Structure 1
Amino acid sequence: MKFAWIDLRTVPEAHRTAVVDAAVHSRVAGVVADDPALLDDLPPTITRVLLVPEPVDSPHLVIAPVDDQDQLDRLPSRSAFVTVSDDRTLKLACAAAERLDHTVVRFTDPTKIPLEIVIAAADGASGKLVTVVDDLVEAAIVLECLEHGSDGVLMAPADATDVFKLARLLEVKSPPLTLTTLTVESLTHNGLGDRVCVDTASHFAEDEGILVGSFSSGFVLCCSETHPLPYMPTRPFRVNAGALHSYVLGPANRTNYLSELRSGSKVLAVNADGRTRELTVGRAKLESRPMLTITARSPEGVVVDLMVQDDWHVRVLGPGGKVLNVTELRPGDELLGHIASEQRHVGLPIGEFCKES
């Protein structure tokens, strides 16, 4: 679980009360100060962190700076603050992160390579790595660095609004989805139409794809091009997704038409177990191709319709992540899909009557 600490040391006194109230309300994990009086009245749900020049006796979590290995070895507590500015202090931060309960690290240079090295060194360690960040943009980067990220971030907010925004960064962005087994009922050759290939800025796993459908009520899990194909190289960043009118499921349960996707848009990668993650679109490529409509039905009787390029190399996923070429599908075959409980208005779920056909 990622967490955030709020640094009160540079927050103007006029904003301090509002910042603390926001930290309590948004359940920020910790508050950092150099004055114990600012921490004494905080509720027990918040970690009270006293950041001081030298270790002291205190009921709060005390973190003091260390600058060399000797200081680290003699440290009376199991928490330290390390400023990384060169190779020596980078090695010190790695040693601290490997053995201490809490290691707060501030990096003086803008590159994230030293952070990646500390994250790698601390991999598997039981302690927590907390990285000092200047703003919300840096916090988002640090929390995902090296696909692992710092366990926590320490940020001095400008005001209470920054606290709430930081808390939202820590929310689970991509909860799992419930997938269902769809049974193919019919296949229809449609002739020429416009289809969209979605090229993302990330690799898909072999059992991952994106959820696409003609109706907002249901989607089919379209396979990425991670599996070998004759006559062409694999493109593990791509999904040959479907006709331009189709809905594609994105983060926060929102849909877009495939025709709306642009470089920088977000889509949801979904694997055969329903685990999801947010991906950034690098390019959406629209071309005219012969089209094929797959009509399937869920166990509850919901009709799911997907129009894709009518070619053998276009694939969807079946139960267990089985790869299925669309031109080889037959009535009775099983696909993986997702049934939505709400209708859509401009991509947002809404509880209204809507019939699609």
Structure 2
Amino acid sequence: MKFAWIDLRTVPAEHREAVIDAAIHARVDGIVDSDPETLATLPATVKRILVGAEPPKDQGLDDLIVLREVADDNRLHELRALHQSGDKNTAALVNVVDDPSLTLACETAIALPYTVVQFKDPTKIPLEIVIAAADRAPGQLICQADDLEEAKVIIDVLEKGSEGVLVAPRSANDVFELVELLRVKTPDLNLTTLTIESIEHLGLGDRVCIDTCTHFEKDEGMLIGSYAHGFILCVSETHPLPYMPTRPFRINAGALHSYVFGQDNRTNYLSELKAGSAVLAVGADGRTRRIVVGRIKLESRPLLSIKATSPEGVEVNLIVQDDWHVRVLGPGASVLNVTELKKGDHVLGHVATDKRHVGWPVGEFCVEK
């Protein structure tokens, strides 16, 4: 789980109290300041990180993390010795400005419990190198970001990013936005086995292919459906096909009116998606991950209507291109060609109890059929 450290040192005086309240309320991992008196007022639910000074005596700050700058090997040796003597909160700040300081950052991240790195140049290659060097080290790596946009990039570097990000917010809203950014793990979904009731050829209509910026796994797809209460797991074009190359980034999803199940229990129409939209990849075991749309392709094709029901009797419908190479996933991640489905076959899907308004779940009366 990613975590945030909030840097108070450059927060305007008129915003400091609100930023502190927001950080505590949002349960950020730590608050950084150069004023020990401010840190002494913070609750035990947040780490207190002192920078630019040595810890004061007899102020109830025994658990204080002291962030000390490391500029050379001698300083690293001193902090390593301090940590080995029993200081579990030894922390270092390394400014990466060239290759020697990059090497120093890697060594520090391996040796100490906490290492904050900041980089002179905008490239993220040095951060990738530090992340890789410290990957198996027990300590935690925190990268300093100039703003929320940079924090978003840092979180995703090498798919895993640093464990933590240090940001100086401009306001309390920045704190809440940062915490939302750090919710990188999407929750698993409960998939159910649906039983096919009927297949019907509909004739010409518009269907959407979703081309993403991600390589799908063989058991991954997207949940697509005509109704907001039920979806079928459409598989990606990761599996080989005759007559055409694989498209491991693509899902031949369905007719343009269809819903795609996304993050935060929200749906979008396929017709709404565009380059840059966020969607949800779903595995046959229910795991999910956020991915980004590269483009959509809307083309007129013959369509096929698939009707299925859940064990509880919930009716689900999916309208897709009427072609053998369009496929859905069945139990055990079996790959099923839609034109070969027949009454009694089983497919994987998801049943939601919520009704929808502009994609958001609402508690209202609504009938879809």
Smaller-chain TM-score range?
over 0.9
Stretch moving more, 168-177 or 194-203: 168-177
Question: CA–CA distance in 2 between the matches of 1:280 and 1:167?
Answer: 20
1:266-307 residue CA offsets vs partner (Å, 9 max, x unmatched): 211111111111111111101111111111110010011111
1:160-209 residue CA offsets vs partner (Å, 9 max, x unmatched): 22112212222355211111100111111112111110101111111111
Which of these residues, 91, 103, 115, is aligned with residue 91 of structure 1? 103
> Aligned to 2:305, what secondary structure does the other structure show?
strand
What residue ranges of structure 1 are gaps of 5+ in the alignment? none
Aligned pair 1:122/2:134, yes or no? yes
Residue identity in the other structure for 2:122: P
Residue identity in the other structure for 2:349: G
1:78-157 matched pairs, under 5 angstroms: 78-157=90-169
Q: Which residue of structure 1 lines up, in the alignment, with residue 34 of structure 2? A: 34
Q: Which residue of structure 2 lines up, in the alignment, with residue 312 of structure 1? A: 324
> Aligned to 2:102, what secondary structure does the other structure show?
helix
- 8 Å Cα contact 2:54/2:66 also seen in 1: no
- 8 Å Cα contact 2:254/2:318 also seen in 1: yes
Q: Which residue of structure 1 lines up, in the alignment, with residue 197 of structure 2? A: 185
Stretch moving more, 219-228 or 264-273: 264-273
Q: Which residue of structure 2 lines up, in the alignment, with residue 66 of structure 1? A: 70
1:7-55 residue CA offsets vs partner (Å, 9 max, x unmatched): 1111222222221111111111111111211111110001000112668
What residue ranges of structure 2 are gaps of 5+ in the alignment? 84-89
- 8 Å Cα contact 1:56/1:62 also seen in 2: no
Stretch moving more, 271-280 or 42-51: 271-280
Residue identity in the other structure for 2:307: T
Question: CA–CA distance in 2 between the matches of 1:320 and 1:114?
Answer: 42
> Aligned to 2:228, what secondary structure does the other structure show?
coil
Aligned pair 1:265/2:269, yes or no? no
Residue identity in the other structure for 1:8: L
Question: CA–CA distance in 1 between the matches of 2:259 and 2:228?
Answer: 7
- 8 Å Cα contact 2:209/2:296 also seen in 1: yes
Residue identity in the other structure for 1:289: R
Q: Which residue of structure 1 lines up, in the alignment, with residue 365 of structure 2? A: 353
- 8 Å Cα contact 1:9/1:156 also seen in 2: yes
- 8 Å Cα contact 1:93/1:105 also seen in 2: yes
| TM-score normalized with structure 2 length | 0.94
Stretch moving more, 6-15 or 239-248: 6-15
1:334 is displaced (CA, Å) by 0.9
1:70 is displaced (CA, Å) by 2.2
Which of these residues, 157, 166, 170, is aligned with residue 158 of structure 1? 170
Stretch moving more, 244-253 or 47-56: 47-56
> Aligned to 1:120, what secondary structure does the other structure show?
helix
Question: CA–CA distance in 1 between the matches of 2:136 and 2:340?
Answer: 46
Question: CA–CA distance in 2 between the matches of 1:170 and 1:6?
Answer: 13
- 8 Å Cα contact 1:55/1:63 also seen in 2: no
Residue identity in the other structure for 2:42: L
- Mark the CA change 1:28 to 1:287 in structure 2 (over 3 Å): closer, same or farther: same
Q: Which residue of structure 1 lines up, in the alignment, with residue 44 of structure 2? A: 44
1:87 is displaced (CA, Å) by 0.5
Question: CA–CA distance in 2 between the matches of 1:338 and 1:225?
Answer: 21
Aligned pair 1:214/2:226, yes or no? yes
> Aligned to 2:368, what secondary structure does the other structure show?
coil
> Aligned to 1:79, what secondary structure does the other structure show?
strand
Aligned pair 1:228/2:240, yes or no? yes
Question: CA–CA distance in 2 between the matches of 1:41 and 1:262?
Answer: 48
Residue identity in the other structure for 2:71: D
Question: CA–CA distance in 2 between the matches of 1:339 and 1:12?
Answer: 49
| Pairwise CA RMSD | 1.5
Q: Which residue of structure 1 lines up, in the alignment, with residue 338 of structure 2? A: 326
Residue identity in the other structure for 1:71: R
1:77-127 residue CA offsets vs partner (Å, 9 max, x unmatched): 432110001110111111111121000001111111100111111112111
Number of aligned positions between the proteins? 357
Aligned pair 1:289/2:301, yes or no? yes
Q: Which residue of structure 2 lines up, in the alignment, with residue 23 of structure 1? A: 23
- 8 Å Cα contact 1:52/1:64 also seen in 2: yes
- 8 Å Cα contact 2:36/2:55 also seen in 1: no
1:265 is displaced (CA, Å) by 1.6
Q: Which residue of structure 1 lines up, in the alignment, with residue 86 of structure 2? A: none
